[in-house]
Structure 1
């Protein structure tokens, strides 16, 4: 079972005790073959890198076979010098693409950088730092021209940068005709200049080291800084970025300036390596750089880019270009190969972006085999304590039409009533008659399960956000929104997706459930159809501000309640129709046991009753069609693929009830609204001074039901913290 505080990995446990034939085979097959893993792998962001990485490996294998000495250290040293320069250009192109643009002028801008560098040193006798600054500034100005035309004047990026390519290339050619002889006759002698062009650090060329450093900076810029996030946001959707207040035009302009700076640095390193003018400098570079950026997996449509993708694309293109040259193919073969690769890369990018969600939808949902125990008799004339009745029809409504989605209800020490709404508010109804209400605070997400601390702070699980606390003045603060990540989890399960109910132990520790780590609040139906152990029980200690998972692999864990003696936590597993007990102190500390295994419905919140028992909300009742389907995982998978969501066989949550059970797991009473005339769906209830207050996540009211045999002075707040 594990000691207290040590995560207990609870495997999926089916309710049935005996399996025959096909049931047994299905149970074993879906328990030991983890179908969901493939879908989780497809959902990872790095899966976009799989194709370019595979293509890179294929390229290495092909050219290592065609050219046996191609990857020798001496050969790699020469290639890596060119790779450093090329990578810088690809980085600049990638940033432009991330912002939703394209820069075809990088080739001519690269040639301009080579010209300015050599002219500054050999013709104008400038110092090396001044020449470097002039080169980078000149190329940045070309980028700024592109940025102004595309970003501020909103011209077409493709045509604009194509025109810039032609104009800058023409200017470079004219300058070469006039000054090439004078530049070539100049002699600039400097050990620093020689080191930039031919030096190395630890056996790695200087230009390659520069490219690696720049790649790290670009990665941090795009993934860890606000300007980088804004560029990706602009590339993803310019209209949305504009609507949220981002300066779209200036962000687009900045990407072209950055591209110009990168190209200028690359051209400076190129000039240092060759030391002479080259009329072919930068010719076709725009095609190679664009191919590398797209081949690496960066989306041509913008908004999806990474440094790793650009690096893989740059290495692949450099290997192909150099390999084609060493094979001695006819002139133009390299460009032809680049054109074919670019066409394939664009086709893959377009098709993948268009069908990614479809592919993920086919594989991510992964139902498993679930067999529940026989459903107890709930007929009106039955012999069990679940017998149907209409007692809840006598419940009166509080706040009718004033609240939407009051999932849980709770009282403070002054008997004021609190509940959450789907609009992100916590509403307070004022005692004693609860006719007056006010918005106590606004959290933002849907407040679900709630509990009061000893100091009077209201703690609430908030769907999709985590666990938050609200002080008496209505000031909201976050307590926790992440826990320790599982060692063998493919998806990142550290952040909370659906924390749903919470209770507080005498030592102040918070125990709460997270229903699922695979789906958000709107995806509860899909989680129900999976029937997989996607949930967990978690503990947060405010004294140390540490959060730790106690039990994993639970099937939609829900209501959480501290036992009357304070030694254990009772919690529900909704789709398994059972209640569990987890001991937090005493001789059984750290042990997990099933208290009720065969409920007739899907349990939700659990709370204390005045007579030492517990109230339990059943948010819906079991049905034969779903229970048959739960033993047919393949059928459920086909259903989710082929049918719209409103035609799925799903748990019935239109009719529920409230039951009372004791510490031995025995049902002692039940309250129904048969037919659902007053409270058709119940997710919580709270006893207070002789009344039972009822919440429902799809209701528009809070119910109040008179308990004839209850203690009229008992309150849950006093039960936890005293008078």
Structure 2
């Protein structure tokens, strides 16, 4: 058949098929940054409501005042966040804040220390008190809830006793220090100094939590203390440091509070521990530990602060405000527990999102049809190489010494050599799932490895990485720069490696879901060794699988497994950059494509279409119910027990076919290579490499010579 141009209209249809509301929602739910979207929206909504309800609420002077009032509570909430992320809790933060507020005033007004000494001493007090919690929880393995509750009671009683004794002294003494006044009332670039300090602390906390070993270890401890200990993380020391950090943060908040208020009483910091707990849980820090960021804690803190401040300014009674905070805490805890338990299930239920995918009519396979597709028995007599010595040789390749290679599911490249190909050896262990293979000019074996990218093996068996990522698609939510499932490749005359990444949504073990889904999640990618850059050439491709550079090097043939079609992408010449439909009507699911000795091409069909499967591809709701309700081994599937190899010419015309209709010797055929008058066969589920004689083939033709000439050439 003649090539049909794959025009812009058809591409736009494929682009639209890549998106849907369910698909967008599932990708959003997988994003960590999406989790605080709801709290962030609530925060903006609260501010908007109070801006409308309260006179001058949204003015800049009032915003400055709100920032100054919030900053000290923000430090306390941050201390609570770190303790929760570690898998614990610190109920003493409110009382610790009050003690540090008292200590600041005592060092300044009673002892008369300089400001620098006051700050250092207060921070030391916070660190020591936090360290007591750390010793009890980290080293003595006390329960965080009970430990910090007791600490709360003791510290609260102590600060009340001290306040009674020194309240009069604090009220009758003042400080004439301009530094002290600046800490209480100063601004930095129009921002209150305590709010500016909080912002700097948040930046540092973010870096430590997300970019440092401390943060990684802390998150690991919160997720599973036992697993963290087995991984060699010093759990006791980390927990101790976390509670020290909580104490230091409360101390910083206490210093700014003392500078602003210059007084202390029995109500200082009362209830702040529960407000801080409400804030960080509402912001998205998990009560179970192991999850959260400083920014989420601050979003929750601002919500609680705005609600408290706004209700008070509206004249709502304090007890009502406390009740509202309590209800919010209860709701946040319930939501946190429920969402943490069911988030994975929710994503799983909506992640698979089938689309309508009408397939082109399939040609007849009946023996009496007289077409090149008619079934025959030409593969039944295939010779078995390495019988029961290979596990799923998805691709086969032959080198210049006539040795046969197979890429197997155990992560190995197996080589058979000797006059009768009975000598078996592991040429190299790559790992992952090696799939498509090809020789480069230097006789390095280049391999597409599912889950890893593209790797190379030097003639001595040394493995090296070629590439494992490509450029990210800027408009996609998911970071698709990682090569998720590179499955086939070929190499152009200029050394560029063309390969397919068949899905950006699924892994090797679940890639069949991509075909069931029927969306263009794959792409054609090229790696240029001259620049060492990897670039996505075609996005939104339906499960690209077979990749073959044409004999003249002007184009790349691309098989689409889910569309049962073959395309031609022009890489040189006047048509460069154009995608044409080469073969439209095929009876099965396309896999590898390789060159033949007479200027034509071989094509493997990994499975044969059935009328029921074709009908199901037009019924996305049916496929969705099937995936949800039917065990995977009972899914409607194409016929995978009919091995088939086709031969076609440059125009896409099918010339002949080779069948194993029984599937006994060669089911799920995925690859074939012509070499010196033989056709070698590989299959995803086979326990052998097959070989049949081709009577009319050139007995001297080899794949390596067809690409690089009959003598090894220098790179230049």
**TM-score category of the 2 structures, normalised to the smaller one:** over 0.9
2:535 counterpart of 1:548: yes
1:215 matched residue in structure 2? 202
Deviation at 1:58, TM superposition (A): 2.9
1:228 matched residue in structure 2? 215
2:303 matched residue in structure 1? 316
The partner residue of 2:238 within 242, 246, 251 is 251
Aligned partners of 1:77 and 1:487: how far apart in 2? 37
2:572 counterpart of 1:610: no
1:203 matched residue in structure 2? 190
Deviation at 1:174, TM superposition (A): 3.2
- 8 Å contact kept, 2:18–2:521: no
Aligned partners of 1:549 and 1:29: how far apart in 2? 19
Deviation at 1:182, TM superposition (A): 4.2
2:287 counterpart of 1:283: no
2:327 counterpart of 1:340: yes
The partner residue of 2:438 within 451, 455, 458 is 451
- 8 Å contact kept, 1:9–1:551: no
- 8 Å contact kept, 2:18–2:519: no
- 8 Å contact kept, 1:98–1:302: yes
Per mean C-alpha deviation after superposition, the further-off stretch among 576-585 and 354-363 is 354-363
Aligned partners of 2:608 and 2:401: how far apart in 1? 35
1:38 matched residue in structure 2? 25
Deviation at 1:130, TM superposition (A): 2.6
Aligned partners of 2:470 and 2:16: how far apart in 1? 31
- Pairs aligned (count): 704
The partner residue of 2:385 within 398, 401, 404 is 398
The partner residue of 2:428 within 438, 441, 445 is 441
2:61 counterpart of 1:66: no
Aligned to 1:658, the other structure's residue is in SS state strand
CA gap of 1:595–1:401, structure 2 versus 1, over 3 A, is same
Per mean C-alpha deviation after superposition, the further-off stretch among 710-719 and 635-644 is 635-644
The partner residue of 1:577 within 564, 572, 595 is 564
Aligned partners of 1:244 and 1:466: how far apart in 2? 28
2:76 matched residue in structure 1? 89
2:150 counterpart of 1:167: no
Normalising to structure 1: TM-score of the pair? 0.92
- 8 Å contact kept, 2:565–2:584: yes
1:629 matched residue in structure 2? 616
Aligned partners of 1:548 and 1:455: how far apart in 2? 23
CA gap of 1:226–1:699, structure 2 versus 1, over 3 A, is farther
1:267 matched residue in structure 2? 254
CA gap of 1:188–1:205, structure 2 versus 1, over 3 A, is same
The partner residue of 1:379 within 345, 351, 366 is 366
1:671 matched residue in structure 2? 658
CA gap of 1:444–1:93, structure 2 versus 1, over 3 A, is farther
Deviation at 1:116, TM superposition (A): 2.0
2:484 counterpart of 1:483: no
Aligned to 1:394, the other structure's residue is in SS state coil
CA gap of 1:202–1:563, structure 2 versus 1, over 3 A, is same
- 8 Å contact kept, 1:660–1:667: yes
The 5-angstrom pairing of residues 174-189 of structure 1 reads: 174-189=161-176
Aligned partners of 2:602 and 2:27: how far apart in 1? 37
The 5-angstrom pairing of residues 696-715 of structure 1 reads: 696-715=683-702
CA gap of 1:263–1:406, structure 2 versus 1, over 3 A, is farther
1:11 matched residue in structure 2? 11
1:107 matched residue in structure 2? 94
1:19 matched residue in structure 2? none
Deviation at 1:288, TM superposition (A): 1.0
Aligned to 2:289, the other structure's residue is in SS state coil
CA gap of 1:699–1:228, structure 2 versus 1, over 3 A, is farther
2:127 counterpart of 1:148: no
CA gap of 1:214–1:431, structure 2 versus 1, over 3 A, is farther
2:124 counterpart of 1:137: yes
Deviation at 1:305, TM superposition (A): 0.9
Deviation at 1:181, TM superposition (A): 4.1
- 8 Å contact kept, 2:167–2:265: no
The partner residue of 1:54 within 35, 41, 58 is 41
Per mean C-alpha deviation after superposition, the further-off stretch among 537-546 and 428-437 is 428-437
Aligned partners of 2:468 and 2:634: how far apart in 1? 34
Aligned to 2:487, the other structure's residue is in SS state strand
2:3 matched residue in structure 1? none
2:520 matched residue in structure 1? 533
CA gap of 1:651–1:130, structure 2 versus 1, over 3 A, is farther
Per mean C-alpha deviation after superposition, the further-off stretch among 156-165 and 235-244 is 235-244
Deviation at 1:34, TM superposition (A): 6.0
The partner residue of 2:626 within 639, 642, 652 is 639
CA gap of 1:29–1:548, structure 2 versus 1, over 3 A, is closer
- 8 Å contact kept, 2:499–2:524: yes
CA gap of 1:431–1:184, structure 2 versus 1, over 3 A, is farther
CA gap of 1:9–1:513, structure 2 versus 1, over 3 A, is farther
The partner residue of 1:423 within 410, 419, 434 is 410
1:52-108 CA-partner distances (Å, limit 9, x unpaired): 122213322332343233333222222201222222222222222222221111111
2:103 counterpart of 1:119: no
2:511 matched residue in structure 1? 524
2:680 counterpart of 1:693: yes
Deviation at 1:518, TM superposition (A): 1.7
Aligned partners of 1:470 and 1:208: how far apart in 2? 57
Deviation at 1:238, TM superposition (A): 2.9
Aligned partners of 2:169 and 2:238: how far apart in 1? 41
- 8 Å contact kept, 1:147–1:253: yes
2:288 counterpart of 1:297: no
Deviation at 1:490, TM superposition (A): 2.6
Aligned partners of 2:18 and 2:318: how far apart in 1? 59
Q: Note the residue ranges of structure 1 that are not aligned, 5 or more in a row.
A: 1-6, 15-27
Deviation at 1:383, TM superposition (A): 1.0
CA gap of 1:532–1:85, structure 2 versus 1, over 3 A, is same
- 8 Å contact kept, 1:529–1:650: no
Aligned to 1:388, the other structure's residue is in SS state coil
Per mean C-alpha deviation after superposition, the further-off stretch among 487-496 and 638-647 is 638-647
The partner residue of 1:354 within 321, 341, 346 is 341
